[in-house]
Amino acid sequence: MTELHPDLRENVRMLGELLGQSIQRYPGRECFERIEEIRAAAKSDRRQESGSGQRLVNLLGKLSDDELLPVTRAFNQFLNLANLAEQYHGIRRKRDHQSDLMVEPLAGVFDRLKDGGVSAEALHQCVADMRVEFVLTAHPTEVARRTLIMKYDEMSDCLASLDHADLLPSEREAITERLSRLVAEAWHTDEIRHERPTAVDEAKWGFAVIENSLWQALPRFLGDLDRSLQEATGEGLPLQASPVRIASWMGGDRDGNPNVTHQVTQKVFLLGRWMAADLFLRDIKSLRAELSMWQASDELRDLSGDSREPYRYVLAELRDRLIKTRDWAEARVNGEPADTSGILFENEDLTAPLELCYRSLVECGLEKIANGALLDTIRRAHTFGLPLSRLDIRQEATRHAEAVAEMVEYLGLGDYLSWSEKERQVFLIQELQGRRPLVPRNWEPSEPVREVLDTCEVVAQQTPEALGSYVISMASKPSDVLSVILLLRESGMKFPMRIVPLFETLDDLRGAPDSMSALYEVDWYRDYCQGRQEVMIGYSDSSKDAGQLMAAWAQYQAQEKLTQVANRFGVHLTLFHGRGGTVGRGGGPANRAILSQPPGSVNGSFRITEQGEMIRFKFGLPQLAVQSLTLYSTAVIEATLAPPPEPEKAWRDTMDWLTERSLKAYREVVRENPDFVPYFRQVTPEQALGKLALGSRPARRKASGGVESLRAIPWIFAWTQMRLMLPSWLGSDVALEDAAREGRLPELREMMQGWPFFRTYVDMLEMVLAKADLRIAGYYEKTLLDDDKLRALGTSLGERLEGCVQRLLELKEQHELLEGEPAFAHSMRVRNPYTDPLHYLQAELLKRDRESEGKGEVPELVERALKVTMAGISAGMRNTG
């Protein structure tokens, strides 16, 4: 059995002791001893495989109302501290200066590709042209408050300081004292948000990730990439290359979120410019201190005149313009009049003077100075730019159709919504090719349509660098794309923005290739997109619609066919992956996921959403961010230059056979069983999730309705809380059972061996099954269900989960789950004694909460403790939604 690394174990022990000291001070020794007793009982119950958890349940049942909150908070806090220790351990440097985390270095990947027959020229071209874009989303799965995240980051800094072997005793004592104080501060800070963040708050949080982590990480990563590329090919990165980019949905994603208005989007654009100006201002002030040299090129002298310090002269002008830009943006945010003279608006206003200084230094033989802090700032300027991040706009397809329909009706041209798809396309292309405005001058549209048009106007006022993609959710037809282009043009758009259909449901994924083919057949559209197209694949809604196995196969096939269609029309396709943190939303190890994509579908470009707590786990600290950027980039380079082989015809047939069974089995339960929705509502904390002020977006698309109206994130979140993990395995159980019964497991093993896609799916299924826990799920059922029919459904699902585990072990020829991932298995075991009490308490608190609601009022203590259990279980499970 793999144990924790000694350094990690020591950090977890130390943080746990410091937390214990804080608890002993408040609420006191008695409470601390009760918590320790509960922890010991949880460990003991876990050691007895057949144990019922009864000792733990008995202890928890004796807690007084006053003890409920401190006990739940203690276990929640410990799990957060364990997470931060694990996160830091991933980037710690051992005494011999080797990183513990297994991220293959860039140089190793480049050497392996060259050994495999990739030429130096092909490798350089691929890296120089690469486009990997991370899209930070505000999907509400980050439970921890920002104020606590900042404390945890500082704790990580303390752990890093303690890792130095040459500390004096007094220095070590001072750092430990600071760490102790931070743990105490965290213990005495309310971990639950009581007010829902606004969309602007979310955007500010996204900007803070850039400021606190990515701002430092990006130049470090690009420096590594430059050096490794130079060593491998003899040529480094071009000066203006930006192989990695950052975009955001925060303040732009209005799909189902009435809180994201055109005013919010405008404010977020301005806040981004304010933050960028402020960050670049810090860089320029630092550069002015460094670039004191007098040698300069004639080109620079022409600008600086006879100044004795020409670089400082040029940078002083840039500094002054950045100050004006920051003041202008601040005034605009506050709704005050603002002077635009002298501000930096186009990105070239920022990059041109910096590159002038760089060329001059190189010409004067001062490459060493040029390639220092100045090069870092140039790389930031090309990656983040004056907008700081590219803002995506997302809106649902019917909202655009309704806007066009109102215009058409006002002009007396007919009923657009009743037209066939062909009629819509003919009309839209005719208008797009014409020059007259379509929007009537004195027309008063309805409020929803006015909002769509106002948003388009805000977008049309931005520079190209400020804009990511316009994502159309629930897209299914070419007219969905053409209508957005028309609305943007009517709003004054002067350049072609990327318009990205998002194919989400099973039917949409299946229809996506034909939809895109019909779009490419339009000559006008091919001219508009200039040979480049982005298409978004929705993971979460397809999984909720069809089950994880069917969704994964439908996504794979859609990507294959979309790639073939794009190639047929000579269009370069970028696939935008709407993956979440959990397997139920397409999550899992990033490099494996990318390397298992269909061959040819990762063609030097890759776009992916990063959400909630996964942003913190991947990009929360600069060194973590460097590792994540390396991991994604090397996977994209490898998938482009050395893609996996095509799956064999027999394997495809087997996948069709498996998914036919999994889809039927999944929908029989989720859609057709009348007891399923009542079971889901009663046995999970789904209806209590709304009490957690996680994000600005409502949990439901509609106020009423069944599972279909529920957003994919609360759907996954709720099942994770009570450890049935149903969305990630339901359907697969029947598919594997049928495969075993018909003697097809040897063929599945062959598929695992030769097909990265299938291997990745099986590994992800194993990870989810390892997180599932029938003893805990059974306790929720026992506590919260009083209907025999619902209990019978729960028993049936539990038996199916057990069967799925047995079939997976048989398939992988293992005795227990996670045999090949011992470190992950041990991490789960370490967390269980802390998550178990939270699960048992949550079930009891849900019962009290519902009983109190029936009487009209829920005691504040119960509600607060319930929220803390949700936060703690989220921390224990890591990827929650």
Active site residues: 139, 544
CA dihedral 692, 696, 697, 700 (to 10 degrees): 30
Residue of 281, 610, 251 whose CA lies nearest to 466: 251
Round to whole Å and give the CA distance between 231 and 105: 13
* Single-letter residue type at 858: V
Radius of gyration for the alpha carbons in the chain, expressed in angstroms and rounded: 28
673 three-state secondary structure: coil
**What residues pair up with 390 in beta bridges, in sequence order?**
247
Give the three-class secondary structure for 302.
helix
List C-alpha distances in Å: 188 to 32, 76, 104, 144.
Answer: 15, 13, 40, 14
Q: How many other CB atoms are there within 10 angstroms of residue 38's CB atom?
A: 25
Q: For 239-297, what is the HEC assignment?
A: CCCCCEEEEECCCCECCCCCCCCHHHHHHHHHHHHHHHHHHHHHHHHHHHHHCCCCCCC
Determine the Cα angle at 525 with ends 519 and 529, to 5°.
105
CA nearest neighbour of 534 among 601, 628, 461: 601
717-728: b (≥16 Cβ within 10 Å) or e: bbbbbbbbbbbb
β-pairing, 131-137 with 572-578?
unpaired
CA dist 7 and 11 (Å) reads 6
Nearest to 662 by CA among 726, 731, 758, 728: 731
- Could you tell me whether strands 572-578 and 605-611 are parallel, antiparallel, or unpaired per DSSP bridges? parallel
Distance CA 614, CA 140 (A): 11
Q: Are residues 408 and 416 in contact, defined by beta-carbon separation less than 8 angstroms?
A: yes
Structure tokens, 211: 């400021």
Count CB atoms within 10 A of the CB of residue 373.
16
| Range 133-161 burial, b when 16+ CB lie within 10 A, else e | bbbbbbbbbbbbbeebbebbbebbebbbb
* Euclidean distance between the first and the last CA atom of the chain, given in angstroms as a whole number: 30
| d(C-alpha 486, C-alpha 431), whole Å | 8
The residue written with tokens 């060593």 in the block is 231
Task: Name the nearest CA neighbour of 311 among 351, 280, 284.
Answer: 284
DSSP state string for 814-830? -SSTTTT-HHHHHHHHH
Q: What is the DSSP letter of 99?
A: B
Could you tell me if 574 and 131 are in contact, meaning their C-beta atoms sit under 8 angstroms apart? yes
3-state class of 498 per DSSP? strand
Q: Which residue has the tokens 């980037």?
A: 91
Place of tokens 């907008």: 387
- State how beta strands 498-503 and 572-578 pair: unpaired
CA gap 267, 250 in Å, rounded = 11
**123: which 2 tokens?**
């490798």
What is the C-alpha separation between 96 and 566, in angstroms, rounded? 49
